[in-house]
Amino acid sequence: MKILLLCNKSPYPTFEGGPMAMNSIITGLLEAGHQVKILAVNSKKYNVTMDDIPEDYRKKTGIELIDVDLRVKPVQALKNLFSTKSYHVERFISKDFTNRLVEVLKEDIYDVVQLETLFMAPYVDTIRKYTKALIVLRAHNVEHLIWERIAKGTRFFLKRMYINHLAKTLKNYELNAINQVDGIAAITRKDAAFFRKYCATPTIDIPYGVYPEEFHPNYEVQEQPQFYHIGSMNWMPNEEGIRWFVDDCLDSVVAKVPDFVFHLAGRNMPEWLKEMKNPHVDVIGEVPDAKEFVANHDVAIVPLLSGSGIRIKIIESMALGKTVITTQVGAEGILYEEDVNIIIAENKAKMAEAIRRINENPAMAERIGRAARKLVEDVYDNRKLTERLLLFYQQIKPSSKITFV
């Protein structure tokens, strides 16, 4: 089977959640013996060169990077206030990308064209014109929900008004787009249920998958547990959540755990964190090996207030046998059992109490970490998820000529 993936950014290198989610699907399809071709947007914000991609990966995927200017332009952004179009989506429409897509579709016959994120949906009409392939939307999030949640948490009135406009236009686009594709592969059950509510398009949930054997769990928890967060800080919900934890929760945590230190790792640390002088916050920034960083710490804190989809860093921490303390938003999409394989802390009081409990009872962290690893093995094994996706392709077009060779 031949699958063309249109990606809103390069799936390799896997520095961020989006590329990691895309790459897990690509790796699974290749391992299952199918042919994959990648056409990806390349922007200044997330810029990749071919030298960043291993030669073997380039050969296997035929990956091509198309430069698209995704910069937010103030004048266009302001004009969008008087438009019904989604500014988020409009920025991804590119003549260069369209032209190359047409050439690719003329050069070969594909069984499936998979849109990685909603932002590739503007190309549906072009795909329909040049191929009879199935079009599947790989929905990493319910995109407009992220912005609705961000708007609710924005205090400045004018900024909140503008974000609400962005969320409204994005929602209108998203609800229309999900009716234009042949299938939707949502990243969580909750997201899949949302899409089923608003469209008749066949929908399945295919979460982020890992290869458990690549994650070597370290269940031993230090006598004084080391608390950490790792994630790219140019994703707004990450920064929003860390700001909430530092500004609203930290004092309550330190009151209960005086020697508490929060180790922060990840790309694109904002200036306000870099400049912070707080003995309880250790701002590390980008680390050379994320798995090694996690392995050397004990308990993940993921204080998300907004966002949609699945938290990849949570799945990876669980794969490494770590206890995760997060909010209900952070745990969305994960088939968890509270206090069995994850800890839910919805407000500053619960966050402080959860950290106190773990700090005083390292054995509890070890127990939860082991259960978390078991959950990953049972549910988030990438081979099992790839099999489900391939079956979904077959089910949504049973009379097609798709062959699984």
For 267-281, write each residue's pLDDT tens digit: 999 999 999 999 999
Q: Are residues 123 and 203 in the same domain?
A: yes
Q: Are residues 57 and 112 in the same domain?
A: yes
Q: Are residues 127 and 143 in the same domain?
A: yes
- Quick check: is 401 in a domain? no
Q: Are residues 286 and 392 in the same domain?
A: no
* Angle of CA points 383, 384, 389, to nearest 5°: 95
Check whether 398 has a pLDDT greater than 80: no
Check whether 402 has a pLDDT greater than 60: no
Give the number of other CB atoms < 10 A from CB of residue 103. 12
Mean pLDDT of the 44-58 span? 95
Check whether 260 has a pLDDT greater than 90: yes
Q: Are residues 27 and 60 in the same domain?
A: yes
Query: What was the pLDDT predicted at 333?
Result: 80
Give the number of other CB atoms < 10 A from CB of residue 388. 14
Query: What was the pLDDT predicted at 235?
Result: 83
Q: Pairing relation of β-strands 323-326 and 183-186?
A: unpaired
Mean pLDDT of the 18-23 span? 94
- Quick check: is 404 in a domain? no
- Quick check: is 234 in a domain? yes
Separation CA 361–CA 256 (nearest Å)? 14
Query: What was the pLDDT predicted at 346?
Result: 94
Name the residue range of residue 63's domain: 2-209+381-396
Query: What was the pLDDT predicted at 149?
Result: 83
Helix (H) or strand (E) holding 24: helix 17-31
Q: Are residues 200 and 260 in the same domain?
A: no
Q: Are residues 252 and 150 in the same domain?
A: no
Separation CA 59–CA 67 (nearest Å)? 20
Q: Pairing relation of β-strands 64-67 and 2-7?
A: unpaired
Query: What was the pLDDT predicted at 308?
Result: 66
Mean pLDDT of the 150-171 span? 92
Mean pLDDT of the 324-328 span? 96
Query: What was the pLDDT predicted at 405?
Result: 47
Mean pLDDT of the 78-99 span? 95
Q: Are residues 264 and 191 in the same domain?
A: no
CATH code (residue 270)? 3.40.50.2000
Report whether 237 contacts 216 (CB < 8 A).
no
pTM of the entire structure?
A: 0.84
Average pLDDT, the chain: 94
Least confident of 25-34, 159-168, 313-322, 393-402: 393-402
Query: CA dist 164 to 157, 161, 191, 198, Å?
Result: 10, 5, 21, 20
- Quick check: is 403 in a domain? no
Check whether 400 has a pLDDT greater than 50: no
Least confident of 57-71, 126-140, 143-157: 143-157
Check whether 404 has a pLDDT greater than 60: no
Q: Are residues 196 and 292 in the same domain?
A: no
Q: Are residues 119 and 256 in the same domain?
A: no
Query: What was the pLDDT predicted at 25?
Result: 96
Report whether 205 contacts 192 (CB < 8 A).
yes
Q: Are residues 60 and 203 in the same domain?
A: yes
Mean pLDDT of the 138-160 span? 90
Query: What was the pLDDT predicted at 349?
Result: 97
Query: What was the pLDDT predicted at 290?
Result: 92
Query: CA dist 287 to 215, 293, 297, Å?
Result: 17, 7, 13
- Quick check: is 194 in a domain? yes
Q: Are residues 301 and 160 in the same domain?
A: no
Mean pLDDT of the 373-378 span? 97
Per the structure, how many domains does the chain have? 2
Q: Which residue has the higher pLDDT, 36 or 190?
A: 36
